[in-house]
Amino acid sequence: MKDKIKYGMVGGGPGAFIGEVHRKAAALDGHLELVAGSFSSSAEKSKQMGEELGLDPRRVYSSFEEMAKKEAALPEDERIDMVSVVTPNHLHFPICKAFIEQGIHVVCDKPMTNTIEEAEELCRLVEKHEVLFALTHNYTGYPMVKEARHLVQSGKLGSLRKVVVEYPQGWLAEPVEEQGNKQAEWRTDPQKAGVSAAIADIGTHAENLVEYITGLQIEKLFADTTSFVEGRALEDDANMLVHYEGGVRGILYASQVSVGEENPLNIRVYGTEASLEWNQESPNYLRVKYPDKPEEIHKRGNLYLSDAAGFNTRIPPGHPEGFLEAFANIYKNVALTLQAKKNCKEPDKLATDFPTVQDGLTGVKFIHKAIESGKENHWVEMD
């Protein structure tokens, strides 16, 4: 493909799990090409990663500051179009800011920033410099999540009444951050993770999934937050009552000490006419239930599904699609949108379906409001 989007990556050095996920996802559809990177705060490790990826050593940088400036100085047909930011949370803001100010488009891992002020500043910068900003809330990329959204928007469920969303994990049930687990080390460190652990890491996925499928905004919430592991500075379990606009009620549960659980992100949406349920560990199936007729099971890849589900499907029904493909749908849609803009064309509406900088701001506000509620033991208004 001659008009591939050239991208660079910050983070994702040797041994980094999420960086490799992003690289595989970005490569899946052939729309993007990795040409540059600053893969580690260690210049030696960044160089090592660049060599492993077969990059031109002149395009492998010792810092993100150097990368942003030198890439922006290259001729337009050589410089990166976009940067993928896959570092720990505390580095998201300075990195995104550096590239946005150079007019380079951004894909950033969540949560977008550690503070509300930083998130609001990124929103201003994105508007000022007219760049595209995507946030990798990857669960929105699943075809059956898009089908769930379509069913809600089409009125299939009637008027919404209640939402129940849960994201339990068990990997932090023991103090593994004290046992050399690097993923746990930074996620439980307030200097790197910010004010929150479980809510910032997985609670934001639950919050974003509700908003994506239902379109509902949170009006207020009451959070019960706990650090079960002795000595852990940030919460590892959170349970919330949520009031959404229009009188819709919700329950949100995010935990990383739920022993035996892996990644069963699950959502149930109840309306006056029907309800739906989707689970990330069985992502190709969407259950729809009625009061007066049998339950329906909608399956990924079939022609009876919506255009949005079909647009984000690659293989025939019966063949599983999952985590990497959901990530890839965000990268594919961003790339298609950028290709259209580079060719002075209007992007396909289906290709513009990915989380934005505004979704990032919503997520950061949610984190801070939930932590505030948990500490103060009272209801907190979102605005």
Where do the structural domains in the chain lie, given as residue ranges?
5-131, 142-310+362-381
The helix/strand/coil state of 59 is helix
pLDDT for 163: 98
Q: Which of 119, 122, 138, 35 is nearest to 77 (CA)?
A: 35
pLDDT for 1: 47
Q: Which of 64, 65, 47 is nearest to 56 (CA)?
A: 47
CATH topology of domain 5-131: Rossmann fold (3.40.50)
DSSP string of 210-264, one letter each residue? HHHHH-PPEEEEEEEEE--STT-SS-SEEEEEEEEGGG-EEEEEEES--TT----
Write out the two tokens for 318.
């019966």
Cis peptide before 111 (omega within 30 of 0): yes
* Cα–Cα distance for residue pair 349/164, rounded to 1 Å: 29
pLDDT for 250: 98
* Cα–Cα distance for residue pair 344/342, rounded to 1 Å: 5
* Cα–Cα distance for residue pair 372/195, rounded to 1 Å: 10
On the question of a common fold for 5-131 and 142-310+362-381, the answer reads no
* Cα–Cα distance for residue pair 112/108, rounded to 1 Å: 7
pLDDT for 281: 98
DSSP string of 266-328, one letter each residue? EEEEEESS-EEEEETTSTTEEEEE-SSS--EEEETT-TTS-HHHHHT--S-TTS---HHHHHH
The CATH number of the structural domain formed by 142-310+362-381 is 3.30.360.10
Q: Integer distance in angstroms from the first to the last C-alpha of the chain? A: 45
Residue type, 82: M
pLDDT digits (tens, 9 = 90+) for 232-279: 999 999 999 999 999 999 999 999 999 999 999 999 999 999 999 999
> Rounded to the nearest 5°, which phi and psi values hold at 56?
-60, 120
pLDDT for 326: 97
* Cα–Cα distance for residue pair 283/265, rounded to 1 Å: 10
pTM of the model: 0.96
Residue 351: in which H helix or E strand, if any? none
* Cα–Cα distance for residue pair 39/21, rounded to 1 Å: 14
Q: Which of 89, 103, 121, 362 is nearest to 244 (CA)?
A: 362
How many other CB atoms are found less than 10 A from the CB of residue 324?
15
- Is the Cβ–Cβ distance between 197 and 175 less than 8 Å? no
* Cα–Cα distance for residue pair 93/121, rounded to 1 Å: 9
- Is the Cβ–Cβ distance between 199 and 226 less than 8 Å? no
Instruction: List the chain residues with pLDDT less than 70.
Output: 1-2
